Structure 1
Amino acid sequence: MKWRVLALAALSLLSCSDMSNQPKQKTYRPLVGPAEIPSGVRSFEAHEAPAPEISITLLERGRERYNIYCAPCHGANGDGKGMIVQRGFPAPPSYHIQRLRDAPPQHFFDVITQGFGAMYSYAERVRPVDRWAIAAYIRALQRSQSAMQSPEHPP
Protein backbone atom coordinates (compact mmCIF):
# COMPACT_ATOMS: atom_id res chain seq x y z
CA MET A 1 0.00 0.00 0.00
CA LYS A 2 2.81 2.40 0.90
CA TRP A 3 4.50 1.61 -2.39
CA ARG A 4 1.37 2.57 -4.37
CA VAL A 5 1.10 5.95 -2.62
CA LEU A 6 4.77 6.72 -3.31
CA ALA A 7 4.39 5.70 -6.95
CA LEU A 8 1.31 7.90 -7.36
CA ALA A 9 3.10 10.87 -5.75
CA ALA A 10 6.13 10.39 -8.01
CA LEU A 11 3.93 10.12 -11.08
CA SER A 12 2.07 13.31 -10.20
CA LEU A 13 5.37 15.19 -9.76
CA LEU A 14 6.59 14.01 -13.15
CA SER A 15 3.47 15.34 -14.81
CA CYS A 16 4.28 18.93 -13.75
CA SER A 17 5.79 20.91 -16.56
CA ASP A 18 8.29 23.72 -16.48
CA MET A 19 6.25 26.85 -15.66
CA SER A 20 8.72 29.11 -17.47
CA ASN A 21 7.71 27.57 -20.80
CA GLN A 22 3.99 28.23 -20.36
CA PRO A 23 2.17 30.41 -22.91
CA LYS A 24 1.67 33.94 -21.62
CA GLN A 25 0.12 37.23 -22.60
CA LYS A 26 2.32 39.76 -24.31
CA THR A 27 2.84 43.09 -22.60
CA TYR A 28 -0.06 45.49 -22.76
CA ARG A 29 -0.08 47.91 -25.66
CA PRO A 30 -2.82 50.53 -25.81
CA LEU A 31 -4.93 50.39 -28.92
CA VAL A 32 -5.33 54.16 -29.00
CA GLY A 33 -2.20 56.28 -29.25
CA PRO A 34 -1.90 59.91 -28.09
CA ALA A 35 -2.75 61.27 -31.55
CA GLU A 36 -5.84 59.06 -31.81
CA ILE A 37 -7.71 60.15 -28.66
CA PRO A 38 -11.25 61.18 -29.65
CA SER A 39 -12.17 64.84 -29.29
CA GLY A 40 -13.86 65.79 -26.04
CA VAL A 41 -12.07 63.11 -24.02
CA ARG A 42 -10.03 64.40 -21.09
CA SER A 43 -7.55 62.59 -18.92
CA PHE A 44 -8.39 61.79 -15.31
CA GLU A 45 -5.96 64.43 -14.05
CA ALA A 46 -7.57 67.12 -16.21
CA HIS A 47 -10.89 66.52 -14.47
CA GLU A 48 -9.78 67.51 -10.96
CA ALA A 49 -12.16 69.65 -8.95
CA PRO A 50 -11.05 73.10 -7.78
CA ALA A 51 -10.72 73.72 -4.04
CA PRO A 52 -14.19 74.49 -2.61
CA GLU A 53 -15.02 77.18 -0.08
CA ILE A 54 -14.53 76.03 3.53
CA SER A 55 -17.84 75.44 5.31
CA ILE A 56 -19.19 73.39 8.19
CA THR A 57 -20.75 71.00 5.67
CA LEU A 58 -17.39 70.52 3.93
CA LEU A 59 -15.62 69.89 7.25
CA GLU A 60 -18.28 67.39 8.33
CA ARG A 61 -17.90 65.55 5.03
CA GLY A 62 -14.11 65.70 5.44
CA ARG A 63 -14.33 64.22 8.93
CA GLU A 64 -16.57 61.41 7.68
CA ARG A 65 -14.26 60.57 4.75
CA TYR A 66 -11.13 60.97 6.93
CA ASN A 67 -12.50 58.47 9.47
CA ILE A 68 -13.17 55.98 6.66
CA TYR A 69 -10.01 56.31 4.58
CA CYS A 70 -7.34 58.01 6.70
CA ALA A 71 -7.86 57.27 10.41
CA PRO A 72 -6.91 53.57 10.20
CA CYS A 73 -3.30 54.65 9.54
CA HIS A 74 -3.11 58.32 10.53
CA GLY A 75 -5.15 58.02 13.74
CA ALA A 76 -8.31 59.83 14.79
CA ASN A 77 -6.41 62.98 15.75
CA GLY A 78 -3.78 62.80 12.99
CA ASP A 79 -0.88 61.71 15.19
CA GLY A 80 0.10 58.79 12.93
CA LYS A 81 -0.87 56.14 15.48
CA GLY A 82 -3.88 54.51 13.85
CA MET A 83 -5.03 50.92 14.36
CA ILE A 84 -3.03 49.65 11.37
CA VAL A 85 0.15 51.10 12.86
CA GLN A 86 -0.64 49.47 16.21
CA ARG A 87 -0.75 46.15 14.34
CA GLY A 88 2.80 46.53 13.06
CA PHE A 89 2.63 48.56 9.84
CA PRO A 90 4.98 51.54 9.39
CA ALA A 91 3.73 54.75 10.99
CA PRO A 92 2.95 57.71 8.73
CA PRO A 93 4.19 61.10 9.89
CA SER A 94 2.03 63.03 12.31
CA TYR A 95 0.05 65.86 10.71
CA HIS A 96 1.26 67.99 13.61
CA ILE A 97 4.93 68.16 12.62
CA GLN A 98 6.02 71.56 11.36
CA ARG A 99 6.65 70.41 7.77
CA LEU A 100 3.02 69.30 7.39
CA ARG A 101 1.65 72.25 9.35
CA ASP A 102 3.36 74.51 6.81
CA ALA A 103 2.15 72.48 3.80
CA PRO A 104 -0.68 73.99 1.74
CA PRO A 105 -3.99 72.07 1.43
CA GLN A 106 -2.99 71.23 -2.16
CA HIS A 107 -0.22 69.02 -0.72
CA PHE A 108 -2.76 66.81 1.08
CA PHE A 109 -4.98 66.70 -2.00
CA ASP A 110 -2.00 65.63 -4.13
CA VAL A 111 -0.87 62.95 -1.66
CA ILE A 112 -4.39 61.48 -1.53
CA THR A 113 -4.48 61.55 -5.34
CA GLN A 114 -1.01 60.21 -6.14
CA GLY A 115 0.08 58.47 -2.94
CA PHE A 116 3.35 59.09 -1.12
CA GLY A 117 5.89 56.73 0.43
CA ALA A 118 4.06 53.59 1.60
CA MET A 119 0.66 55.19 0.99
CA TYR A 120 -0.90 54.22 -2.30
CA SER A 121 -3.09 56.44 -4.45
CA TYR A 122 -6.70 56.92 -3.41
CA ALA A 123 -7.61 58.63 -6.71
CA GLU A 124 -9.96 55.83 -7.70
CA ARG A 125 -11.46 55.46 -4.22
CA VAL A 126 -12.02 59.06 -3.15
CA ARG A 127 -13.71 61.61 -5.39
CA PRO A 128 -11.85 64.92 -5.92
CA VAL A 129 -14.40 66.95 -3.95
CA ASP A 130 -14.00 64.52 -1.03
CA ARG A 131 -10.20 64.82 -1.26
CA TRP A 132 -10.59 68.57 -0.77
CA ALA A 133 -12.95 67.92 2.15
CA ILE A 134 -10.35 65.61 3.75
CA ALA A 135 -7.61 68.22 3.19
CA ALA A 136 -9.78 70.85 4.91
CA TYR A 137 -10.47 68.49 7.80
CA ILE A 138 -6.74 67.73 8.18
CA ARG A 139 -6.11 71.47 8.46
CA ALA A 140 -8.86 71.68 11.14
CA LEU A 141 -7.23 68.75 12.99
CA GLN A 142 -3.89 70.54 12.91
CA ARG A 143 -5.40 73.71 14.31
CA SER A 144 -7.37 71.88 16.99
CA GLN A 145 -4.27 70.12 18.33
CA SER A 146 -2.28 73.35 18.64
CA ALA A 147 -5.09 75.53 19.99
CA MET A 148 -4.30 77.42 23.15
CA GLN A 149 -6.78 77.26 26.03
CA SER A 150 -8.21 80.70 26.68
CA PRO A 151 -8.42 82.01 30.28
CA GLU A 152 -12.21 82.50 29.89
CA HIS A 153 -12.71 78.81 29.04
CA PRO A 154 -10.64 76.64 31.39
CA PRO A 155 -10.52 72.90 30.75
Structure 2
Amino acid sequence: GVIRRQLRPAHLLALTATATSRTISSVVNILGGIDVTVRADGVVEKTLESVQTQENDAERGSMVLRRNLRLSGSPTLNPLQSLLELLHTSEYRPLSSIIVYVAYQWQTEQVARLLCQRGVRAGAYHGGMSSIERNEVQESFVR
Protein backbone atom coordinates (compact mmCIF):
# COMPACT_ATOMS: atom_id res chain seq x y z
CA GLY A 1 0.00 0.00 0.00
CA VAL A 2 0.92 3.64 -0.30
CA ILE A 3 1.82 3.95 3.39
CA ARG A 4 4.25 1.05 3.19
CA ARG A 5 5.77 2.27 -0.11
CA GLN A 6 6.12 5.94 0.82
CA LEU A 7 6.83 5.86 4.56
CA ARG A 8 8.30 2.37 4.95
CA PRO A 9 7.25 1.99 8.60
CA ALA A 10 8.75 -0.90 10.57
CA HIS A 11 5.39 -1.40 12.27
CA LEU A 12 1.92 -0.10 11.62
CA LEU A 13 -0.77 0.23 14.29
CA ALA A 14 -4.30 1.27 13.39
CA LEU A 15 -6.80 1.76 16.20
CA THR A 16 -10.54 2.30 16.16
CA ALA A 17 -13.34 2.15 18.66
CA THR A 18 -16.20 2.00 16.17
CA ALA A 19 -15.22 0.39 12.86
CA THR A 20 -17.45 -2.26 11.34
CA SER A 21 -15.98 -5.40 9.75
CA ARG A 22 -16.60 -3.84 6.33
CA THR A 23 -14.72 -0.66 7.33
CA ILE A 24 -11.83 -2.70 8.73
CA SER A 25 -11.59 -4.68 5.48
CA SER A 26 -11.57 -1.42 3.51
CA VAL A 27 -8.79 0.05 5.68
CA VAL A 28 -6.72 -3.13 5.33
CA ASN A 29 -7.12 -2.85 1.56
CA ILE A 30 -6.01 0.78 1.61
CA LEU A 31 -2.99 0.02 3.79
CA GLY A 32 -1.71 -2.47 1.28
CA GLY A 33 -3.15 -5.90 1.88
CA ILE A 34 -1.35 -6.54 5.14
CA ASP A 35 -2.44 -9.34 7.45
CA VAL A 36 -4.31 -7.81 10.37
CA THR A 37 -5.37 -9.16 13.73
CA VAL A 38 -8.63 -7.59 14.83
CA ARG A 39 -9.13 -7.22 18.58
CA ALA A 40 -12.09 -6.14 20.68
CA ASP A 41 -11.66 -5.64 24.43
CA GLY A 42 -8.22 -7.25 24.18
CA VAL A 43 -9.52 -10.50 22.67
CA VAL A 44 -8.51 -11.64 19.18
CA GLU A 45 -11.64 -11.97 17.07
CA LYS A 46 -10.27 -12.93 13.68
CA THR A 47 -7.46 -12.37 11.21
CA LEU A 48 -8.37 -10.76 7.91
CA GLU A 49 -6.95 -12.19 4.71
CA SER A 50 -4.54 -10.16 2.60
CA VAL A 51 -6.32 -8.17 -0.07
CA GLN A 52 -5.26 -6.27 -3.17
CA THR A 53 -4.14 -2.68 -2.68
CA GLN A 54 -5.23 0.43 -4.55
CA GLU A 55 -2.54 2.14 -6.60
CA ASN A 56 -0.85 5.34 -5.56
CA ASP A 57 -2.24 8.31 -7.52
CA ALA A 58 0.31 11.03 -6.64
CA GLU A 59 3.99 11.33 -5.85
CA ARG A 60 3.31 12.49 -2.27
CA GLY A 61 1.62 9.20 -1.44
CA SER A 62 -1.92 10.49 -1.80
CA MET A 63 -4.80 8.21 -2.73
CA VAL A 64 -8.41 8.99 -3.48
CA LEU A 65 -10.32 6.48 -1.40
CA ARG A 66 -13.75 7.87 -2.22
CA ARG A 67 -14.86 11.11 -3.80
CA ASN A 68 -14.90 12.71 -0.34
CA LEU A 69 -12.02 10.80 1.29
CA ARG A 70 -8.30 11.00 0.56
CA LEU A 71 -5.30 9.52 2.40
CA SER A 72 -1.94 11.29 2.22
CA GLY A 73 1.40 10.67 3.84
CA SER A 74 4.99 11.73 3.39
CA PRO A 75 8.18 11.13 5.37
CA THR A 76 9.54 14.43 6.65
CA LEU A 77 11.66 16.03 9.31
CA ASN A 78 9.22 18.96 9.46
CA PRO A 79 5.66 17.58 9.55
CA LEU A 80 4.00 20.98 9.92
CA GLN A 81 5.79 22.39 6.87
CA SER A 82 4.89 19.26 4.91
CA LEU A 83 1.25 19.64 5.99
CA LEU A 84 1.18 23.32 4.96
CA GLU A 85 2.69 22.46 1.57
CA LEU A 86 0.12 19.70 1.10
CA LEU A 87 -2.77 22.02 2.01
CA HIS A 88 -1.61 24.50 -0.65
CA THR A 89 -1.47 21.97 -3.51
CA SER A 90 -4.07 22.14 -6.28
CA GLU A 91 -5.40 18.83 -5.00
CA TYR A 92 -6.21 20.09 -1.48
CA ARG A 93 -6.61 23.89 -1.82
CA PRO A 94 -10.22 23.69 -3.12
CA LEU A 95 -11.40 21.44 -0.28
CA SER A 96 -13.60 23.09 2.33
CA SER A 97 -12.87 20.66 5.20
CA ILE A 98 -9.89 18.47 6.04
CA ILE A 99 -9.23 16.24 9.05
CA VAL A 100 -5.62 15.82 10.21
CA TYR A 101 -5.03 12.85 12.51
CA VAL A 102 -2.26 12.94 15.13
CA ALA A 103 -1.19 10.49 17.83
CA TYR A 104 -1.80 12.54 20.97
CA GLN A 105 -4.43 14.96 22.25
CA TRP A 106 -1.81 17.66 22.91
CA GLN A 107 -0.74 17.41 19.28
CA THR A 108 -4.25 18.31 18.10
CA GLU A 109 -4.02 21.56 20.07
CA GLN A 110 -0.49 22.25 18.81
CA VAL A 111 -1.26 21.57 15.14
CA ALA A 112 -4.47 23.62 15.23
CA ARG A 113 -2.67 26.55 16.88
CA LEU A 114 0.24 26.46 14.41
CA LEU A 115 -2.08 26.21 11.40
CA CYS A 116 -4.10 29.19 12.66
CA GLN A 117 -0.88 31.17 13.13
CA ARG A 118 -0.13 30.50 9.46
CA GLY A 119 -3.51 31.66 8.23
CA VAL A 120 -5.28 28.30 8.00
CA ARG A 121 -8.68 28.11 9.73
CA ALA A 122 -8.30 25.14 12.09
CA GLY A 123 -9.66 23.72 15.32
CA ALA A 124 -8.62 20.92 17.65
CA TYR A 125 -10.98 18.01 18.38
CA HIS A 126 -10.21 15.18 20.80
CA GLY A 127 -11.68 13.07 23.58
CA GLY A 128 -10.20 15.24 26.34
CA MET A 129 -12.47 18.14 25.38
CA SER A 130 -15.90 18.67 26.92
CA SER A 131 -18.88 17.65 24.83
CA ILE A 132 -19.78 21.34 24.46
CA GLU A 133 -16.29 22.13 23.09
CA ARG A 134 -16.40 19.15 20.71
CA ASN A 135 -19.87 20.14 19.47
CA GLU A 136 -18.67 23.69 18.78
CA VAL A 137 -15.71 22.40 16.77
CA GLN A 138 -17.93 19.92 14.91
CA GLU A 139 -20.46 22.62 14.02
CA SER A 140 -17.66 24.89 12.80
CA PHE A 141 -16.24 22.03 10.71
CA VAL A 142 -19.47 21.32 8.83
CA ARG A 143 -20.20 25.01 8.09
TM normalised by structure 1 equals 0.21
Q: Which has the higher helix share?
A: 1
Q: Which has the higher strand share?
A: 2
Specify the structure having the higher radius of gyration (Cα).
1
Higher relative contact order (CA 8 A, sep 6+): 1
